[in-house]
Amino acid sequence: MSARSPRRPLERLRAWWHGLPIMRAFFCFVAIWAVASLVFSLVTITVLMEAFYRIDGEARTSHLEVNGGPYIYDARNDELVPASAMDLNGTDQFVFIGFTDSSVLNGSSVDVVLAGGWNDGVRVGYATMDMVRTDDALTVYDWGGNYTEEDYIEADGNPYREEPVDPDDLAAYDARERATRVRNDQVIAEGSLGEGMLVSNVGYFVSQDDGAYATGAGMALRIAAGLSPFLYLGVFAIALFRRFYRTRLEAPLDALRMATDRVARQDLDFEMPQVAGRELGGLARAFERMRASLVRSQRELWRTAEERRRLNAAFAHDLRTPVTVLKGTVEMAQMRAEHGEAPNPDALRTIAGQVGRLESYATAMSGIARLEDRKVVRAEVDAPELARDLAGQARAYVSARAPELAVDADAVRLPEGMRLLVDRSLVEEVLDNLLSNACGHAGERIEVSLALEDAPVAPGADPAGDAATPAPDGCRQDGSGTGEGPRRLLALRVSDDGPGFTPEALRRGCEPFFGEAKSAEHFGLGLNIVQTLARLHGGAVELANADGRGAVVTVRFEV
């Protein structure tokens, strides 16, 4: 028990998954697709960007990372000077203050080397005119600000133009812009902050295009990182939705198509496989029920045809005797007539007797044919009342037929308060036939008993699976029950203290026209009629011999 316990949650999960409706299963596949694509994309992007930062960092350490500014142009030295912007009135009025001695700004005349993070090892410094003239990755732009009223009017309210300034023309551009803009650079007198101080109303900033230093490997990593989400979306969409189609649509439809083709070929020797999904799984189960019903119908038709064949063969065999006798008697009568002799009265009596026998055979055959078409009409009856009536019927029948025999019907009892679905007239007719046989073979005593039994049938099993093949006793025949769980059976048993069944009778006792002591009145149809009635009521007949002496016939009815 403990070894199977860990598997039960997994089995329940698998059963839940296989039983999902198509719409819910589709949404589950969509959720798996979205989550898997997101997780794999994030992991891939993280890995690729880490590799990119490492490669890009190595490339950046090979050149100077330029400080963007602001800068002042020093016309005397033709150089860019690092500066600070001072906001005068909170609008766009700035004074740019620069120092030719860079140690005033950063405390050192050398470049700064960053440490830590993805900028680890990158050198940062200020731009120079040589750098902006020779490095295509550096572009000089006007900082803007300090525009006059005329500038706003001419530019329709927006005089700033973000256009690069040619480094070779920077001297002329700076002189022109200083003269045309607001001269707020005179707020601080030159030299008042110390030697090497520059003041200007025009500032610049330097833009550095990092893409100019990018390597092919770095660009490939960035492109791969950007495309990875779309790649995973496509790959997982193909994989998961292909899986959804194969398991939820293609496999069930293939199974149903296979089953349909085999049924069309009248090949019913198969079992529908388990199909995933509530809708198609239910359709497959309904198809399996239909197939099982067809199997039962075919076996019942085969059984009926086989019994009719045996019945006709037995009837033809038994007809040979009276026909032979009639033929011989008629021939003798013709010979006597040809010689002018009068008909023999004995011959006429023989002919009349054989004709009567043929008439009885015909009547018996007609009765058997009508018996096959008999309708079973079940009605709810009180079990104890049915038992009392059957016990009384047994005593009355034996008393009328063979008063010298004793009848023990004390075991014909059923529990109080129980209700059964029974064709009462059919059960009584079966009892009469059993008692008729018993009266003909019993020595001194006949016993009758009644009991309820459970006959478990595996779910999905064919309860008529061996209906076409008689059991060794020649009579046992399963009925046509529901096949869904245990069936309740009413077992009627009649035994006698006679010589019992011979081995041949145990094997063939229920065959039509079989009898070891047949006569003109008895054609060997009693047990065959019992078998037919029992089968119509979903039951079976069982022949046996008692341990000591006597025959035992048990008839079961599905109730």
Residue 510: both structure tokens together: 């229920």
SS3 state of residue 419: strand
SS3 of 213-251: the string is HCCHHHHHHHHHHHHHHHHHHHHHHHHHHHHHHHHHHHH
Average pLDDT score, the chain: 78
Q: How far apart are CA 267 and CA 31, in angstroms?
A: 42
Q: Please report where in the chains the tokens 């245990």 appear, as a residue.
A: 486
Whether pLDDT at 203 is above 70: yes
Q: Where are the alpha helices (DSSP H) in 209-344?
A: 216-244, 251-264, 278-338
Whether pLDDT at 45 is above 90: yes
Q: Mind listing the pLDDT tens digit for each residue in 365-378?
A: 565 656 666 788 89
Terminal CA-to-CA distance of the chain, rounded, Å? 37
* Residue 440: CB atoms within 10 Å: 14
The residues pairing with 446 across neighbouring beta strands, listed in sequence order, are 407, 496
SS3 state of residue 128: coil
Cα torsion through 244, 247, 248, 253, rounded to 10: 130
Whether pLDDT at 37 is above 50: yes
Q: Read off the pLDDT band of 214 (50, 70, 90).
A: confident
CB-count exposure of residue 122 (10 Å: 0-12, 13-18, 19+): buried
Q: How far is CA 135 from CA 68, 83, 219, 230, 388, in A?
A: 15, 22, 21, 37, 119
Q: What does the angle CA 138 – CA 144 – CA 149 come to, to the nearest 5 degrees?
A: 155
What integer is the mean pLDDT of 387-412? 88
Residue type, 76: R
Q: How far apart are CA 252 and CA 243, in angstroms?
A: 13
Q: Is the peptide bond before 273 cis (omega within 30 degrees of 0)?
A: no
Q: How far apart are CA 47 and CA 40, in angstroms?
A: 11
Q: Mind listing the pLDDT tens digit for each residue in 501-536?
A: 888 888 877 776 666 555 444 456 678 888 888 888
Q: What is the pLDDT of residue 339?
A: 74
Whether pLDDT at 557 is above 90: yes
CB-count exposure of residue 158 (10 Å: 0-12, 13-18, 19+): exposed
Query: What DSSP character marks residue 116?
Result: S
Q: What percent of the chain has pLDDT over 90?
A: 20
Q: How far apart are CA 503 and CA 501, in angstroms?
A: 6
Q: What is the pLDDT of residue 312?
A: 63
Q: Read off the pLDDT band of 6 (50, 70, 90).
A: low
Lowest mean pLDDT among 69-73, 399-403, 507-511: 507-511
Q: What is the pLDDT of residue 288?
A: 87
Q: Which residue has the higher pLDDT, 386 or 520?
A: 386
Q: Please report where in the chains the tokens 């998954």 appear, as a residue.
A: 17
Q: How many residues are given for the chain?
A: 559
SS3 state of residue 486: coil
User: What domains appear along the chain, each with residue ranges and CATH number?
Assistant: 19-59+216-258 (no CATH), 64-211 (no CATH), 297-373 (1.10.287), 376-558 (3.30.565.10)
Q: Which residue has the higher pLDDT, 60 or 535?
A: 535
Q: What does the angle CA 250 – CA 460 – CA 256 come to, to the nearest 5 degrees?
A: 20
Q: What is the pLDDT of residue 165?
A: 93
Q: Which residue has the higher pLDDT, 234 or 88?
A: 234
Whether pLDDT at 481 is above 60: no
Q: What is the pLDDT of residue 328?
A: 74
Q: Please report where in the chains the tokens 């679905």 appear, as a residue.
A: 421
Whether pLDDT at 429 is above 80: yes
Whether pLDDT at 277 is above 90: no
Whether pLDDT at 252 is above 60: yes
Residue 326: both structure tokens together: 């009639």
Whether pLDDT at 462 is above 60: no
Residue 259: both structure tokens together: 């089953």
Cα torsion through 285, 288, 290, 296, rounded to 10: -140
Q: Where are the alpha helices (DSSP H) in 339-382?
A: 345-372
Whether pLDDT at 38 is above 90: yes
What integer is the mean pLDDT of 542-549? 83
Q: Which range among 260-269, 445-454, 547-556 has the greatest average pLDDT?
A: 445-454
Q: Which residue has the higher pLDDT, 360 or 15?
A: 15
Q: How far is CA 131 from CA 105, 125, 204, in A?
A: 20, 11, 15
Q: How far apart are CA 557 and CA 386, in angstroms?
A: 14
Q: Are 72 and 105 spatial neighbours (Cβ–Cβ below 8 Å)?
A: no
Q: What is the pLDDT of residue 366?
A: 60
Whether pLDDT at 322 is above 50: yes
Q: What is the pLDDT of residue 266?
A: 83
Whether pLDDT at 493 is above 90: yes
Q: At what angle do helices 22-60 and 216-244 cross, to 10 degrees?
A: 170
512 Cβ contact list (under 8 Å, min separation 6): 307, 310, 311, 314, 315, 368, 524, 525, 528
